[in-house]
Amino acid sequence: EVQLVESGGGLVQPGGSLRLSCAASGLTFSSKWMHWVRQAPGKGLVWVSRINSDGSTTNYTDSVKGRFTISRDNAKNMLYLQMNSLRAEDTAVYYCARDQGVGPKVGAFDIWGQGTMVTVSS
Amino acid sequence: DIMMTQSPDSLAVSLGERATINCKSSQSVLYSSNNKNYLAWYQQKPRQPPKLLIYWASTRESGVPDRFSGSGSGTDFTLTISSLQPEDVAIYYCQQYYSAPRTFGQGTKVEIK
């Protein structure tokens, strides 16, 4: 079965840290860009970060630069998002998503995980 | 950043009738070297992740019913549901993948009248 499965969400205090994981199975992973997208409760979709196929290139939305780090382990078909210095406004469902582009070419997000909820609150 | 603006924010359509959603980008998402519009449409049903419907502005993803179609070029795009079905109740998002950050529209909620 083709799937992405996120884990690692939960309740954390402001200033705390979490590490999200995304396990890929049944799909091409190692040659694809991967992304994290978040959705605050009742709100729209916001792109957070992306990483290229070999992990050498990463990009972040301005609001998480310097606090979040995206990484991947192609041998394990895993994507990660290390989130530090968490703020209340980081509260959201976090989705991992696969880029349908091939090699350096970009594309739409063709496969999404079910999401993991991150709640930042004291 | 490229800003994506959808209209309307919500619409109610009778079963079997046409639903039309518009999406406007703050700058062109047409890449001249390959003549492709870097624009996608997603459907999100309650408590589910988004699902890719349309990419390259008008290419339907595999398995997507042909009542869904995308059109437009440059900065103005449209998603059309030709004959609304009960299972089409959802929020629809456009997204540009022309440049980082990959911005989404604010979403359009489609309901049954």
Assign 3-class secondary structure to A5-53.
Answer: EEECCEEECCCCCEEEEEEEECCCCCCCCEEEEEECCCCCEEEEEEECC
Mean pLDDT for A114-120 is 98
Residue A54 pLDDT exceeds 90: yes
Write out pLDDT tens, residues B87-113: 999 999 999 999 989 999 999 999 999
Nearest chain A CA: its distance from B74 CA (Å): 17
Write out pLDDT tens, residues B19-34: 999 999 999 999 999 9
- Of chain B, the percentage scoring pLDDT greater than 90 comes to 97
Nearest chain A CA: its distance from B23 CA (Å): 15
For residue B48, list chain A residues with Cβ-Cβ distance below 8 A: 114
- φ, ψ of residue B57 to 5 degrees: the values are 70, -25
In this prediction, residue A68 has a pLDDT band, given cuts at 50, 70 and 90, of very high
Residue A118 pLDDT exceeds 90: yes
Residue A61 pLDDT exceeds 80: yes
In a 3-state reduction of DSSP, which class is residue A90?
helix
User: Which pLDDT does position A104 carry in this prediction?
Assistant: 67
Contact assignment for B107 to A114 by CB distance below 8 Å: no
Residue A32 pLDDT exceeds 80: yes
CA A78 to chain centre: 11
Sign of CA dihedral A1, A35, B71, B46: positive
Contact assignment for B93 to A44 by CB distance below 8 Å: yes
Contact pairs from chain A to chain B, CB under 8 Å: 53
Least confident of A100-104, B4-8, B28-32, B39-43: A100-104
- φ, ψ of residue A90 to 5 degrees: the values are -85, -5
By Cβ distance, the residue of A45, A50, A100 closest to B104 is A45
Average pLDDT, chain A: 95
Average pLDDT, chain B: 97
- Of chain A, the percentage scoring pLDDT greater than 70 comes to 98
Query: Who contacts A62 (Cβ-Cβ below 8 Å, separation ≥6)?
Result: B101
Write out pLDDT tens, residues A17-27: 999 999 999 98
